[in-house]
Amino acid sequence: MSSSSSSASFSFSFSTLSPAKHPSNPLLPWEVLLLISQHLNPKTLAIASSVCKPWFISMSHDHLWKPIFLSHYPSLSSLHLVDPTIPYRRLFALGYLASMHRRRDHPEPRISLHDLILTVDVFHNDARLLSIAKAGEELDDGRSGVFRFDVCISDDDDRVAMIEREDGLKVAWTVVSKGWKAAFFMMEGKGNGKLVGRNERWFSEELPSPGRCSTTLTSGLAAELGLGFCGGDGKRVLEKVSLGLMSVVSWRYVSVDDGLRYLQHFLLPSNA
């Protein structure tokens, strides 16, 4: 095993380990301990250091833990400049615990797509152009895994909407819980939107934080709504509406579960 092997497979705190007392065990020469310790990964080093005091001293030395620490958590290396007396073993434990907290599994969302109704209204020069209400199960194809859905409007649909110009558009997207218990306004946008290609107009609106302590914080998420048109220079027909929930950090659509975890803050009672 290499000393740079991943530490993600063990789940105990280094700070809780202390050298055990085994007076009857024969002690290996320190030179042998030194040679052995250089071939151990972080988990084995931590376990070995609890055998007895000589092992603790040998397995906790900075010359072992410094390269391991720097290879795993270089972003924390400045902490040793703040206090050079901090053992690298302790810094590795700090980085390990921080990484475990970041990777901690999120709980399952308490709502599903099947609990929701998504409504979209499109206006053109203040005249209603299109209204759609889709139950969540109609959108859940179980394949993409991301919170991004397309609603196609067929040519024989009585909801077909035609315009001559794409300016003066206004869109509204609302998520409603079934049973009409709660609603959340995802977007209320107007203007021309952003032209993508030749036939799509996209509207985007950053969403508020689910916390109630501040009205100025954002969630790091943005609601995305796209209108897909077809046709030439004359009548333009609205043939598709796309809905999505995107991370403004990575500019990727979030997973369905992450989207549901966000929405449940607004659609479920605070004590649910």
- Look up residue 161 and give its two tokens: 């909407």
Task: Tell me which of 77-81, 212-216, 253-257, 268-272 is least confident.
Answer: 212-216
Any idea what the CATH number is for the domain that residue 87 is in? 1.20.1280
- Look up residue 91 and give its two tokens: 């810094």
Domain that holds residue 78: 14-102
For position 242, what pLDDT does the model report? 94
Asked whether residue 53 is assigned to any structural domain, the reply reads: yes
Cα separation, 149 vs 138, in Å, equals 10
Cα separation, 148 vs 143, in Å, equals 11
For position 103, what pLDDT does the model report? 62
H or E element: which one contains 47? helix 42-48
Which ranges constitute the DSSP H helices of 60-157?
62-72, 78-82, 88-102, 136-139
> Position 108: which residue type?
E
Residues 20-76 have pLDDT tens digits of 444 444 455 556 666 666 677 888 877 877 778 877 877 788 888 888 888 888 888
Is the distance from CB of 252 to CB of 266 less than 8 angstroms?
Answer: no
H or E element: which one contains 151? strand 148-152
Shared-domain flag, residues 242 and 263: yes
Shared-domain flag, residues 129 and 253: yes
DSSP state of 39: T
For position 23, what pLDDT does the model report? 42
Q: What is the sign of the dihedral through the CA atoms of 177, 104, 221 and 201?
A: negative
DSSP state of 71: H
Helices (H) then strands (E): counts for the chain? 8, 10
Shared-domain flag, residues 202 and 133: yes
Nearest-5° angle of CA 65, CA 66, CA 71? Answer: 100
Shared-domain flag, residues 201 and 131: yes
Residues 122-153 have pLDDT tens digits of 988 888 888 899 999 888 766 678 999 999 88
Shared-domain flag, residues 67 and 139: no
Cα separation, 136 vs 117, in Å, equals 6
Q: Is the pLDDT of residue 246 over 80?
A: yes
Q: Is the pLDDT of residue 14 over 50?
A: no
Cα separation, 243 vs 265, in Å, equals 20
For position 225, what pLDDT does the model report? 95
Q: Is the pLDDT of residue 265 over 90?
A: yes
More confident residue, 13 or 184: 184
Q: What is the sign of the dihedral through the CA atoms of 149, 155, 160 and 161?
A: positive
For position 143, what pLDDT does the model report? 63
SS3 92: helix
- Average pLDDT along the chain: 78
Cα separation, 106 vs 122, in Å, equals 35
Asked whether residue 5 is assigned to any structural domain, the reply reads: no
Q: Is the pLDDT of residue 227 over 60?
A: yes
The predicted model gives 228-232 an average pLDDT of 79
Shared-domain flag, residues 38 and 159: no
For residue 238, give the nearest of 229, 226, 247, 225 by alpha carbon. Answer: 229
For position 27, what pLDDT does the model report? 52
Shared-domain flag, residues 220 and 130: yes
Asked whether residue 178 is assigned to any structural domain, the reply reads: yes
DSSP bridge partners of 247: 221
